[in-house]
Amino acid sequence: MKILALGVLLAVCASLAAGEAKGGQALEPSFNSARAMQYTRQVVGFGTRPIGSANHKKLESYILAHLKGVEIAEDAFTAETPEGKFPVRNLIAKFPGSKDGIIVIAGHYDTNYPLRNTGYVGANDGASSTAILLELANQLRGKKRDGYSVWLVWTDAEEAVKQWSAADSLYGTRHLADLWQKDGTLKRIKALIVEDMIADADLNIEHEMGSTPWLEALIFQAATELGYQSHFFARSISVQDDHLPFVQKGVPSADMIDLDYGYNDVFHHTPQDTLDKISAKSLEISGKVIMKVIELLDHDVRPTVKD
């Protein structure tokens, strides 16, 4: 069934991309990959950054320093975990648009807590998602948006504190989804995309089976229009990630993730998740695709995907 679903998805997207090609070549979005890579280096330079640590607090300040002049909201709370209480802080940068609705792009900035004493720096898993959001902020800052508002969210406490489970993971987004449900924000969200582990030098973004099908199709359409389709959807898997609390509440959501990090996932959640395993080109591919998806959403493009 997974193979059939992926085949239908790819066929739909190929047709859409072919239609675009007839009307002219798609414009390539702006994205400074060298700057995004420099941000990644700087984030890694803080060292390990689990929740509750001094380095995590320094990274919060670093992110906010880069967002001066941007409207910022915070969702700060205390999480109850198997290892005790920890401060959690989701950071939200808001870029207003002319249309009524919100596009959310999110990525976590904490690193794995159980690996806190190993020198784990999470170049791909934590730093790359932090950095790509900073560069997306550069692209959106100071520009009048003739489309939906875009909210960039640096999610906190995505990682498990002891051992991954439904209760010990996704602390930040579970809280944020509840908050946005209570205040009515969820109803305004047109699409939510999580970016996680998107800088692997051998980039292969998964087709995530728990994501909203039409939004996954839109991501593949964007990748195809930009000529990056070979880096997307070769595998279909289910991933537990920050999109799930929103999927469960009916928000159109997708997870853009390359979970297979190194041969047989050898670098994932190990001290070998270092800068030499990632690339500026992968950041560029991920960043330009997400900018293209925002453009398509602004124009209310919504692929029809058969069951």
Q: What is the CATH number of the domain that holds 172?
A: 3.40.630.10
For the chain, the domain total comes to: 1
In a domain, residue 255? The reply is yes
Residue 103, beta-bridge partner list = 150, 191
Q: Which domain holds residue 116?
A: 2-298
Contact (CB, 8 A) for 112 and 123: no
Listing DSSP states for 208-265 in one string gives ETTS-HHHHHHHHHHHHHTT-GGGEEEEEE---STTHHHHTTT--EEEEE----SGGG
In a domain, residue 161? The reply is yes
In a domain, residue 306? The reply is no
In a domain, residue 269? The reply is yes
Contact (CB, 8 A) for 278 and 126: no
Which tokens sit at 175? 């809280």
Q: How far apart are CA 130 and CA 110, in angstroms?
A: 9
Q: What angle in degrees, to the nearest 10, is found between the helix axes of 128-140 and 54-65?
A: 20
Q: What is the pLDDT along the chain (307 residues), one digit of tens a residue?
A: 333 344 445 544 544 444 443 444 557 899 999 999 999 999 999 999 999 999 999 999 999 999 999 999 999 999 999 999 999 999 999 999 999 999 999 999 999 999 999 999 999 999 999 999 999 999 999 999 999 999 999 999 999 999 999 999 999 999 999 999 999 999 999 999 999 999 999 999 999 999 999 999 999 999 999 999 999 999 999 999 999 999 999 999 999 999 999 999 999 999 999 999 999 999 999 999 999 999 999 999 999 887 6
In a domain, residue 105? The reply is yes
In a domain, residue 106? The reply is yes
Q: 160: buried, middle or exposed (CB in 10 Å: 19+, 13-18, 0-12)? A: buried
In a domain, residue 305? The reply is no
Contact (CB, 8 A) for 175 and 158: no
In a domain, residue 216? The reply is yes
